Amino acid sequence: MTNTPQFLGRSVFDLDDYSAAEIMYILEAAKGMKEINLREYKKIPTLRGKTICTLFIENSTRTRMSFELAASRLSADVVSFQANISALSKGESLQDTVYTLDAMGIDLYCIRHSSPGSPQLVHKYSGKPVINGGDGRHAHPTQALLDIFSIWEKLGDIRGLKITIVGDILNSRVVRSNLIGMRKLGAEVTVCGPRTLMPSYMEEVYGCKVQYDLQTALQDADVVMGLRMQLERQTEGLFPSLEEYTKHYVLSKHTIRYAKKDALIMHPGPMNRGIEILPEIADSQQSIIVEQVANGVAVRMALMFLILGGKV
Ligand code: CP
């Protein structure tokens, strides 16, 4: 595996900053990292002496743990910021928090925050590269990269694939980053959900198709991705009840038959089983939901390696 200067010191705020060729380069690097993850001895010394901080100010299981595992597999030191037991809970600002952490010698920040634009602020305060692990409803670029990697690994070239993303489009940062990445690589993406959870600008801004009818949206899809119903972000009563949502949009054996026979089933997690997806589909042979999580470690290793100029 070789490193390349164009990634050195670069932040990952969202995928619009990255060209199709650069995204493919990251996927190739992640493929190499996955091979390391499959070895009996999974650790390599490439980032020895570097310090990576996971600055998570919103809850997470997958993203946080896979950033920390990725850093550890590359032999970096990891500082894990716990918002609820930090001075942030005593009223310290994000700016002073970053100044404090930075004084201890951080080389790279991986951040999650409920406010869009927080990763850019951390970069401004620290001058260090920042990887966005999810900022409000805005972006989740590493989730998109691992999703695209998972599809590429199974189906090869992304160009021309029919990908259908179903669910709470309005509140999803995952769908926004995925649309940018998938469209750059030439996929035909359809988003599907209730009108009240569908922003009016989707076609114009992202170049995707919009469908409100699940059966039509799933027709001939190569890939079907369910999204979590983001109950914590819904304050406006945008649909009558969860039962109503499930009746029209759940991914089940019954609804999935409109997609291609062996269509990949994906979900970024965490899942609301029984609401947006039934276990019969989430745990089926077609599902790659668990593999998505495994691939998240490889993709985050690749980014850390490229940004910090790891040596092999
Ligand atoms: N997909 C995702 O971002 O999951 P977590 O919230 O568990 O990190």
> Which pLDDT belongs to residue 230?
79
d(C-alpha 198, C-alpha 200), whole Å: 6
pLDDT means over runs of 10, the chain (312 residues): 78 97 97 95 95 96 98 97 87 95 97 97 98 97 98 98 97 97 98 95 98 98 94 64 90 97 97 96 98 98 94 62
Task: Please tell me the residue having the least CA distance from ligand 1 atom 5.
Answer: 60
Structural domain boundaries of the chain?
Answer: 15-140+293-307, 141-289
- Write down the architecture of domain 15-140+293-307 according to CATH: 3-Layer(aba) Sandwich (3.40)
Least Cα distance to 14 among 170, 118, 155 occurs for: 118
Q: Name the amino acid, one letter, at 218.
A: L
Question: DSSP letters of 101-147?
Answer: HHTT--SEEEEEESSTTHHHHHHHHH-S-EEEEEETTTB-HHHHHHH
pTM, whole model, 2 decimals?
Answer: 0.96
141-289 classified as CATH 3.30.1360.20? no
User: Could you tell which of 143, 229, 277 is best to mutate to test the pocket of ligand 1, judged by most ligand atoms within 8 Å of the CB?
Assistant: 143
CA of 186 to the centre of ligand 1 (A): 26
DSSP 273: B
Q: At residue 79, what are phi and psi to the nearest 5 degrees?
A: -110, 120
Q: Which residues contact 203 (CB under 8 A, 6 or more apart)?
A: 209, 210
Which protein residues touch ligand 1 with a CB less than 6 Å away?
60-63, 134, 143, 268-270
Assign 10 to helix, strand or coil: coil
Domain 141-289 in the same topology as domain 15-140+293-307: yes
Least Cα distance to 225 among 233, 217, 237, 234 occurs for: 217
User: Could you tell which of 55, 59, 63 is best to mutate to test the pocket of ligand 1, judged by most ligand atoms within 8 Å of the CB?
Assistant: 63
d(C-alpha 304, C-alpha 292), whole Å: 18
Question: ∠ at Cα 308 (306, 312), nearest 5°?
Answer: 65
Task: Please tell me the residue having the least CA distance from ligand 1 atom 3.
Answer: 63
